[in-house]
Structure 1
Amino acid sequence: MNQSKVMRGFLDTGLLLLMLFSYISSAVSSSHYSPSCQSHEQFHLNGMHKNGDVILGGLFKIHFFSTDPDLSFTSQPQLPTCYGFNIIGFREAQTMAFAIDEINRNSNLLPNVTLGYSLYDNCLELGIAFRAALTLVSGQEEQVTLEENCVGTPPVLGIVGDSSSTRSIAISTVIGLYRVPLVSYYASCSCLSDQQKFPSFFRTIPSDAFQVNAMIQILKRFGWTWTGLLISDDDYGVHAARSFHSDLGPAGGGCLAYTEILPWGDDPAELRRIVDVMRKSTARVVIAFSNKARMINLMKEVVRQNVTGLQWIASEAWTSADVLQTPHLMPYLGGTLGIAVRRGEIPGLRDFLLQIRPDNTGGNSMVNQFWEHTFQCRFAPPPASWVEAGGGLCTGQEVIQNVENELVDVSDLRAEYNVYKAVYAVVYALDDMLQCEPGRGPFSNNTCAHLQRLEPWQLVYYLAKVNFTTAFGDEVSFDENGDTLPIYDIMNWVWLPDGRTIVQSVGEVKRSAFKGDKFTLDEDKIFWNFEPKQPPRSMCSESCPPGTRMARKKGEPECCFDCVSCSEGKISNTTDSMECTSCPEDFWSSPQRDHCVPKKTEFLSYHEPLGICLTTTSLLGTFICVVVLGIFIHHHSTPIVRANNSELSFLLLVSLKLCFLCSLLFIGRPILWTCQLRHAAFGISFVLCVSCILVKTMVVLAVFRASKPGGESSLKWFGAVQQRGTVLVLTSVQAAICTVWLVSASPVPHKNTQYHSDKIVYECIVGSTIGFAVLLGYIGLLAVLSCLLAFLAKNLPDNFNEAKLITFSMLIFCAVWVAFVPAYISSPGKYADAVEVFAILASSFGLLVALFGPKCYIILLRPERNTKKAIMGRGNTR
């Protein structure tokens, strides 16, 4: 079906171009041999004319249909015959006649110049419209005498028309070659904005691109993101579809359904398929970009399949179609929102239309056709009275009343208002051109145009610069594409309780030269054909709430998607978010993934059970050390305290107390000074403790050696001063190691997010691993050395051999710290600090209990053994 239409279109265009070539060739060949051009053929067209100094042409749809000419090529083709009178098209033509009559009576416009017109019927047929356009630009004279150099004013300076985009494209393509201006009042295809292809085309109706923009504004206002689009398979529909697909989308907030059924023709099977798709689709909003005739055919199928519950959006071509506003269609079309051409008012037009009668129009054929078709009355040639028709007699008063009902309804002037503006645009351009001052003109050598030798291209120059305001208050001017400042009314079909339908204006969309686009819509006035009386929802997928993002469905339109929850650490705080955003470094996503919350912090706290237990244990160990120190001070004169250097015992107790207290530095949120002090305090305290034990062990060995013959001299190296000096030197080495470590690569607090993404683990990084290893290694070296020396002295022949206690305590110490290393490395965050605190406490308790437990036992519970004799082993052997 579509292919045959395309082939027929090519055939029509070819015939028209061949006709034009023959027409021009005949004229040119004749001019070679005579000072006149002979017309090869005349077109017998239906029209109305008025003489004047300057003639304007017009193309109007006076009839709906035409008969196809015979294409057998066996006889001369007959011109098509038009039938089906169109009252609206006739009123548009009469509006142009009224505008020219009004201008002729206006002394401020074109003074001393009389305008005339030649208006032709296009019969809604491209071929007829093309013939009429050629007639306008070339004339109807059978023989034209040429002036010198073939110059002179052409038959028309400009044409007002056509009403169809397809016909305007074809006509403007040809007459644009000669820069004859064509000012259309109803051709809205956005393709006509291409000034490279249509350099002399102008229009007073907005481009479809702006109409599409207005529809998109409506879709956005009501949140309709899943929309059906039906277009006619002509230039009007195809270019509108391109505008929709380029403007609608994620950025525009919607997408189109039904795209698989484009284009929309008149084939009944195709209509059935279209309506079936509409019935099954989830889209509740349908945009119909078509003419009135095709909407009638479509609605027949909609009624047959009973497809209700749709919100229709009408293009300007059928928004005001009375034939669709019938009671049996209102269950389907009630509540329709439509884009309508701007309604205007033309003062005086009604009175002018009332004067249109066959007896005062000089036998105008269009007027006669109007009366004959509408009222079936025929009129005799001289002026006269109504005559008998079909056996009856139409009286003058009866006919005039019918004319008022059919023709003189000026309450909704839309296309007529555009015709009115188009005529005035041409006249204002012509007036500006004729007011040119000689020597200041815009053309070559600063020349002006002259009325006797006007050229159409000169009028094009002035048309591009025209700017005026109508009596209705609308500004008229053309941009660089020949488009006027766009303005549309938004209409709503109201279904009244009594079954009647009214079409009311509920808003407008317009563009101002200085204020940009303005969209207004009174939602309270809109009638919705749904229960409750609210706008419907039309979306492929429900909106994604905050905390989720849209995930496109493969192979489906953009507005069809799934809602996917944001991953951990990311949020979306808006509806229909395309992406989830990451939270800042110290924040994490809430459980709902709709906002960021501060990350949980983790460190070995005084307030958690583990921290409380370790703190309590540390303070308990410190308290025990104080108690033991008190006991030793109170019994400082007893043999068991005085044995083996009581001064070292006191120093050992103090160092153990420091070991218990330094564990508190590992509890609490790490800060710079605690990170630096904790390991230094730990290292120095334990070296002090182990140094005391080492010296005590060395003293035991020295005493045993001195008890042998010739060994007295060894004691001079282990006096009180030497013991204190040895402890000081050994401790000073650790202090030096700590100082170098802190100066070169000091431990610092660190926020670690590697262990848990939703937590910040506060920890101290050691800075220099080598410094930490040397600190621990030095403690281990002293501990191993003490353990070896104590092991050598464990079998000395004394009743109370402290070397055994030292050996046992150092074994505990070494075992704890050997186990500490792998446990510390494998423990994350606060548990690493807990392991280190546990190692400190365990080793400290091991030393405290192993070294001082037996002595306290004897002091407190077995005082009889706290004698020198018992210590020396000289009492009873049992």
Structure 2
Amino acid sequence: MSPFTILSIVMVAILQMSAAGLENANINDEVFILPGEYMLGGLFAIHNQANILSTRSRPDLITCKRFNPYGLSCALAMKFAVNEINSASSLLPGVQLGYEIYDTCMDPVVILNSVMRFLRQGNDSDIHVLCNYTEYQTHVMAVIGPSTIEMISTIGKLLSFFHIPQSWFQISHSASSEKLSDRTIFPSLLRMMPSDRGQVQGMIQLMKEFQWNWIAAVGGSDEYGKQGLQQLSRQAAQNGICIAHMSHIPEDSSSRAIQQIIDRIRNAKVNITVLFASHYQASTFLTYVLSAELEMVWIASAGWSLAGGIQQIPGIENIGTVIGFSVKINTIPGFETYVKKMLSLLKEVRQYSLESNANKARKEDWILSEMQEFHTSCASCRDNISMMWDPLMNQLAFNVYIAVYCVAHALHHVLHCSNTKCEKGFNLYPWQLLKEVKKVNFTHNNASFFFDENGNPNAGYEILTWTTGKKGAPVTVIGEYKDKLVITKSLIKWHGKGKEPQSTCSKECLTGQVKIIKGFHFCCFDCDTCPEGTMANITDCIQCPSGQWSEPGSMTCRPPIFSFLYWDQNTVRILLAIMAVLVLLICLICWLFISHWHTPVVQASGGHLNFLMLVSLAALSCSICFFIGEPTDLLCQLQQPSVAITVATCLATFLVKSLRILMAIDLKSLSQTRLHWLLNKGVGLSIICLVLLQVLLSVLYVKTIKMFSEQANMPIKSLNIFLRCTIDPLLALGFMFGYNGFLVLCSFICTLLSEKPSRQYNMARDITFAMLTFIFSWIICIPTHAGAAQEHKSLVQMSVILFSCFGILVATYFPKCYILMFKQELNTSEYFKAYITKNPSKNELQ
């Protein structure tokens, strides 16, 4: 048995000797009694269990067993408080309080006997049967106790009928039950322990602070444990915390049943367990936990967080880290000295116990029998009481102490007490005292006390951690909870490697992911990234509203950013520079041809047709400007047709020249036909007809394409949208550029079929290389354009346009310019006349 239990046995022996003697040690005798003008009743569990009531065949005396030192400490605190008040001269001057304190044996049946004594009228032994009890004077004015909700429920209605203030406190498991806040069931009940609801709220805040959402919960089999887990389950679900396993410690505390609970906790793979139980059941359960080597974080309820008996279990530090909740630990000034003074009578008690051994017939002398067993080991405890005093015992004793002071302050107001006297010349009834008790608000030892509308005290919780196995105090206060959690994490010494443990079923999803619940627990889930065009709202991917878009894994949607080819972009600047160079070259060639207008090389290469071809090439080069800047309906209507028409003009000129070369060399028999006329005198009409056909195809294309303004109403599919003119429909675009391809092919075939004179200027060769360059450029353009990103498609087409212009210019005009500038000896009629000696005359070529 622990040292504080030994100490309590010593104290009960001493105090019973001084109060009621040791004649009878059964439940019908008062533990302590003191006559007074205003009597207080005390109901404390000096023992934990009544002897088997099922074998009781008649209503005789009931004996109890399993001594409870916590109940005794409360009884002593009540006695000490009353003596202190009676000795003071300021609170109740001239008034003597009395008390009757009974042992409840932690049994609802046993407690009724004591309550019946409290309800007798005055000092009579009878309870009068009346229709109106307003002026009924009960024997006691207030009751301090009992300790469990079962006993409160048993006597609460009875005391409430008489409106006797019943200020009770928590001694173990159910004293803080939320049920006791119900004023319809317990209208006269007040308590010194806050409701379990606040304690559970603090536990939830603690778990949220450490981000623990995967826990186990174990409760006692009594009402305290059941109500606590019920509150925990409800609030955990509301705060996103999953209870992987929840069970109650069986009443019989069988090893097999407890081992099954431990196995289930281990299999749940949790690192946090809330243990909501009395110190008796918690002690039993943790003993098995220690044997099973189950190490984790234990969140202790106020029922056992300060239990010294559990802290003294050998090796208890191996269960892991204990974080507990407790009402603020206060001490009773002078109480320790009071108990030490009683211990000085130990020698006298020992002598009395030895004398009592001669009388074996007194079997009910339970205090002396326990004293005989432990008085030897306790003889040396006299000077070290502070080391043996259980913090939980100290807390419960303080609650009783303050409860007595609450009644005393209420009497002070009812009796209109001054510093010297109180008015006692009138009858005072319990219901009158109850009204004042509910309104008390006083300060004692620098701490204020009052009750709310539900009879709960203005107390919060201290958060503490065990420091078992280390020198100094057994617990360290690390924070507090009163509507708000305040905690100092650095004060916690974690088990294992000393790192803060994690306890989650699944890792939190990343930003933009949604949870897909697995199984029954919402804390167990898979994470799925929301696709583009949606935003995550924890459980679902929601489609973006019209006009907005999002990237994969986004939490929000936003309007897109529009861009297009700007004039100041580096790539655009390069292409514009190339265009300027080409236009400059074309201008130089024009100037060179004009300067040598009547020379054979200019006349033989086409005369006026050269300027038409050069102008069309310049216009084709400048058409890239339609691809730059913010697109508009007009710009999009001009973009592709401008390319197609200028290309068609250039190719029509090439086709006419190719046919003329073919006729002059290989088809002399057609010289007098209409085709000959079209290619000579009717060359302008031929070119106009060829170009006009392209203009008609371009008009068809413009009529069928979608206006750029219509694209503003199209669904958004990206956050970064590059604005460019569409080329839909492809069929119309295919006809338009397919026609140009037909012109290229015809020119290429004509020049390919022409006879190639040796060692003389070859006009067909120039056109052949020009067409090959053009064909190669646009063949490369098609797949490159199709595979390019939107912002690069226009750049691809612009580059192809410039490349094909440059290719035609180099292949067609650079050789002629070379002759004009560096080979003047070749620019003679004789040279070109020799070139066409077996071909048509020079006039035919012109």
Moved more, 482-491 or 214-223: 214-223
Aligned to 2:439: 465
Which of 300, 303, 320 pairs up with 1:314?
Answer: 300
CA–CA distance in 2 between the matches of 1:815 and 1:397?
Answer: 114
Q: CA deviation at 1:207?
A: 1.9
Q: CA deviation at 1:81?
A: 0.9
Corresponding position: 1:424 with 2:405: yes
Aligned to 2:80: 98
Aligned to 2:832: 866
Aligned to 2:16: none
Moved more, 482-491 or 229-238: 482-491
C-alpha contact 1:541 1:560 (8 A) present in aligned 2: yes
Moved more, 773-782 or 94-103: 773-782
Aligned to 1:159: 143
CA gap 1:581/1:171 in 2 versus in 1, 3 angstroms: same
Amino acid at match of 1:417: F
Task: Trace 1:445-460 onto structure 2 (pairs within 5 A).
Answer: 452=427, 454-456=429-431, 458-460=432-434
Which of 207, 216, 226 pairs up with 2:195?
Answer: 207
C-alpha contact 2:645 2:691 (8 A) present in aligned 1: no
CA gap 1:870/1:746 in 2 versus in 1, 3 angstroms: farther
CA gap 1:119/1:818 in 2 versus in 1, 3 angstroms: same
CA–CA distance in 2 between the matches of 1:616 and 1:602?
Answer: 22
CA gap 1:274/1:698 in 2 versus in 1, 3 angstroms: closer
CA gap 1:605/1:568 in 2 versus in 1, 3 angstroms: farther
CA–CA distance in 2 between the matches of 1:336 and 1:791?
Answer: 95
CA–CA distance in 2 between the matches of 1:710 and 1:321?
Answer: 122
Task: Trace 1:138-157 onto structure 2 (pairs within 5 A).
Answer: 138=120, 141-143=124-126, 151-157=135-141
Identity %: 24
CA gap 1:645/1:235 in 2 versus in 1, 3 angstroms: same
Q: CA deviation at 1:184?
A: 1.3
CA gap 1:825/1:141 in 2 versus in 1, 3 angstroms: same
Moved more, 417-426 or 682-691: 682-691
CA–CA distance in 2 between the matches of 1:107 and 1:699?
Answer: 139
Q: CA deviation at 1:241?
A: 0.9
Aligned to 1:298: 285
CA–CA distance in 2 between the matches of 1:136 and 1:227?
Answer: 46
Which of 207, 215, 235 pairs up with 2:223?
Answer: 235
C-alpha contact 2:514 2:530 (8 A) present in aligned 1: no
C-alpha contact 1:226 1:559 (8 A) present in aligned 2: yes
Aligned to 2:101: 119
C-alpha contact 1:493 1:501 (8 A) present in aligned 2: no
Q: CA deviation at 1:284?
A: 4.0
C-alpha contact 2:194 2:460 (8 A) present in aligned 1: yes
State the Cα deviation string for residues 308-345 of structure 1 (Å, max 9, x = none): 53444433323333333336334535754333332223
Which of 31, 38, 50 pairs up with 1:54?
Answer: 38
TM-score, structure 1 as length reference: 0.67
State the Cα deviation string for residues 472-529 of structure 1 (Å, max 9, x = none): x2222222322112333344433447xx784133234242xxxx435244734x555x
State the Cα deviation string for residues 696-743 of structure 1 (Å, max 9, x = none): 99999xxx9xx98999x99999799x9999999999999999999999
Corresponding position: 1:489 with 2:467: no
SS class of match (2:427): helix
Task: Trace 1:561-572 onto structure 2 (pairs within 5 A).
Answer: 561=525, 564=527, 566=529
Task: Trace 1:24-423 onto structure 2 (pairs within 5 A).
Answer: 44-70=28-54, 75-110=57-92, 113-138=95-120, 141-143=124-126, 151-186=135-170, 187-222=175-210, 224-248=212-236, 251=239, 254-259=241-246, 266-278=253-265, 282-303=269-290, 305-307=291-293, 309-326=295-312, 328-333=314-319, 336-350=322-336, 352-353=338-339, 412=391, 413-423=394-404
Corresponding position: 1:505 with 2:476: yes
CA gap 1:276/1:690 in 2 versus in 1, 3 angstroms: closer
Q: CA deviation at 1:182?
A: 1.9
CA–CA distance in 1 between the matches of 2:793 and 2:438?
Answer: 83
Corresponding position: 1:765 with 2:751: no
Task: Trace 1:732-811 onto structure 2 (pairs within 5 A).
Answer: 754=717, 760=720, 762-766=722-726
Count of residue pairs brought into register by the alignment: 772
State the Cα deviation string for residues 134-157 of structure 1 (Å, max 9, x = none): 432345844456899653333333
Amino acid at match of 1:341: V
CA–CA distance in 1 between the matches of 2:611 and 2:597?
Answer: 10
CA gap 1:79/1:54 in 2 versus in 1, 3 angstroms: same
Q: CA deviation at 1:606?
A: 12
C-alpha contact 2:46 2:104 (8 A) present in aligned 1: yes
CA–CA distance in 2 between the matches of 1:243 and 1:777?
Answer: 78
Moved more, 542-551 or 641-650: 542-551
CA–CA distance in 2 between the matches of 1:787 and 1:283?
Answer: 79
Amino acid at match of 1:682: V
SS class of match (2:314): helix
Aligned to 1:28: none
CA–CA distance in 2 between the matches of 1:351 and 1:809?
Answer: 118
Task: Trace 1:500-579 onto structure 2 (pairs within 5 A).
Answer: 502-511=473-482, 516-521=483-488, 523-524=490-491, 526-528=492-494, 530-532=495-497, 534-535=498-499, 537-541=501-505, 543-544=507-508, 551=515, 554-555=518-519, 557-561=521-525, 564=527, 566=529
Q: CA deviation at 1:249?
A: 5.3
Runs of 5+ consecutive residues of structure 1 not aligned to the other structure: 1-41, 360-366, 381-388, 437-448
What root-mean-square deviation, in Å, do the aligned CA atoms of Structure 1 and Structure 2 show? Answer: 6.6
CA gap 1:47/1:718 in 2 versus in 1, 3 angstroms: same
CA–CA distance in 2 between the matches of 1:160 and 1:710?
Answer: 132
CA–CA distance in 2 between the matches of 1:222 and 1:402?
Answer: 42
CA gap 1:276/1:828 in 2 versus in 1, 3 angstroms: closer
C-alpha contact 2:295 2:320 (8 A) present in aligned 1: no
CA gap 1:866/1:282 in 2 versus in 1, 3 angstroms: same
CA gap 1:827/1:215 in 2 versus in 1, 3 angstroms: closer
SS class of match (1:162): coil
CA gap 1:147/1:306 in 2 versus in 1, 3 angstroms: closer
SS class of match (2:457): coil
State the Cα deviation string for residues 600-632 of structure 1 (Å, max 9, x = none): 999999999999999999789767755754553
CA–CA distance in 1 between the matches of 2:832 and 2:388?
Answer: 133
Q: CA deviation at 1:266?
A: 1.5
CA–CA distance in 1 between the matches of 2:515 and 2:572?
Answer: 46
Amino acid at match of 1:454: Y
CA gap 1:790/1:749 in 2 versus in 1, 3 angstroms: farther
CA gap 1:579/1:790 in 2 versus in 1, 3 angstroms: closer
C-alpha contact 2:613 2:650 (8 A) present in aligned 1: yes
SS class of match (2:225): helix
C-alpha contact 1:185 1:418 (8 A) present in aligned 2: yes
CA–CA distance in 2 between the matches of 1:397 and 1:715?
Answer: 140
Runs of 5+ consecutive residues of structure 2 not aligned to the other structure: 1-25, 359-367, 418-423, 662-667
Q: CA deviation at 1:183?
A: 1.4
Select the structure with the greater relative contact order (CA < 8 A; seq sep ≥ 6).
2
CA–CA distance in 2 between the matches of 1:270 and 1:640?
Answer: 114
Moved more, 803-812 or 644-653: 803-812
State the Cα deviation string for residues 816-855 of structure 1 (Å, max 9, x = none): 9999999978976356436644774687579768987998
CA–CA distance in 1 between the matches of 2:489 and 2:613?
Answer: 92
